[in-house]
Amino acid sequence: MQTLQLPSKREIPILGQGTWRMGEKASQKQAEINALRLGIDLGMTLIDTAEMYGEGGAEKVVAEVISGRREEVFLVSKVYPFNASYQGVIAACDRSLSRLKTNYLDLYLLHWRGGIPLSETLEGLQYLKQAGKILDYGVSNFDVDDMEEAISLPGGDGIATNQVLYNLMRRGIEWDLLPWCKQRNIPIMAYFPVEQRAFINHSHLKAITQCLSEAEIALRHNATSTQIALNWLLRQNNIISIPKATNPNHIRENRAALDINLTEEDIKEIDRAFKPPSRKMSLAIR
């Protein structure tokens, strides 16, 4: 699996697996465990979870998946903003570690910005890093102004990544956040990479044009539209992506998406159908 370097110089795989909506239903648990295990076997060893997902349920699913193979996995979890005070983030991390049945996280993120001063959260994250409970820390759903503020604070220069919504259909971060992060060698973790076309109103001409264009490119590469959307993200050199899939066919497809080679012509076609931003847009949130 290809990797990117975090500012700490540690390597992070560019393609991983999300876990949102996992750990919510007991009847789904085994399928979720099997799915994540298959993904790891195929090389998608980065697992992204959060205390929020299933209110700890997703972390418990992940614990079963990584049991006996912790060292193979790059494990990411996130703290709720309302738990992100100095003492709160330390306690929340301990709870996550205990649910995950491990003694360290590879990366720990502030899930989104809340009312607690960032300086306090960063102090807690630095403590956790010094204690060896987390190897890196970062943020999520931060726009440029939040990032500017964060890096100006003590510990802000240790921010390893910013996890934000980014996909072909929502390219707003290309206006400012993406170049800002690139300039500082801070990789972006793209969530919601597989925007569900089902939600689009297909009577809308723009959506039809987009779907057709994606489908044509997919046909040329003997791939699916979703794989094209995923490859388009992964071919950029500052992006990590974490699609969530429980269906084994989806998992195999997501891994195979890495191997597609989009041509310059494909990229031009994509840019015509899915236009890059021409002005500042507010940060998209799932």
Which residues would be at the binding site for ligand NAP (CB under 6 A)? 18-20, 48, 111, 140-141, 163, 191-194, 226, 242-247, 250, 253-254, 286
> Could you tell me the sign of the dihedral formed by the alpha carbons of 282, 283, 284, 286, in that order?
negative
Rank residues 19 and 45 by Cβ distance to ligand NAP and give the closer one.
Answer: 19
Task: Say which residues have a Cβ less than 8 Å from residue 189's Cβ, sequence separation at least 6.
Answer: 48, 76, 140, 161, 162, 163, 164, 239, 240, 241, 242
- Separation CA 220–CA 226 (nearest Å): 14
As measured in angstroms, the least distance from the Cβ of 21 to ligand NAP is 7
Apex CA 23: angle with CA 17 and CA 26, to 5°? Answer: 135
As measured in angstroms, the least distance from the Cβ of 225 to ligand NAP is 8
- Separation CA 261–CA 259 (nearest Å): 6
Q: Which amino acid is it at 160?
A: A
As measured in angstroms, the least distance from the Cβ of 53 to ligand NAP is 7
Task: Say which residues have a Cβ less than 8 Å from residue 207's Cβ, sequence separation at least 6.
Answer: 197, 200, 201
As measured in angstroms, the least distance from the Cβ of 47 to ligand NAP is 8
Q: Which two tokens stand for residue 96?
A: 């996550």
- The candidate with the shortest Cα–Cα distance to 172, out of 48, 75, 279, is 279
Rank residues 55 and 205 by Cβ distance to ligand NAP and give the closer one.
Answer: 55
Rank residues 97 and 240 by Cβ distance to ligand NAP and give the closer one.
Answer: 240
**CB nearest ligand NAP: which residue?**
18
As measured in angstroms, the least distance from the Cβ of 245 to ligand NAP is 3
Rank residues 93 and 194 by Cβ distance to ligand NAP and give the closer one.
Answer: 194
As measured in angstroms, the least distance from the Cβ of 253 to ligand NAP is 4
Rank residues 18 and 172 by Cβ distance to ligand NAP and give the closer one.
Answer: 18
Tell me, rounded to whole angstroms, the distance of Cα 251 from its chain centroid: 16
Q: What is the DSSP string of 60-97?
A: HHHHHHHTT-GGG-EEEEEE-GGG-SHHHHHHHHHHHH
Rank residues 131 and 251 by Cβ distance to ligand NAP and give the closer one.
Answer: 251
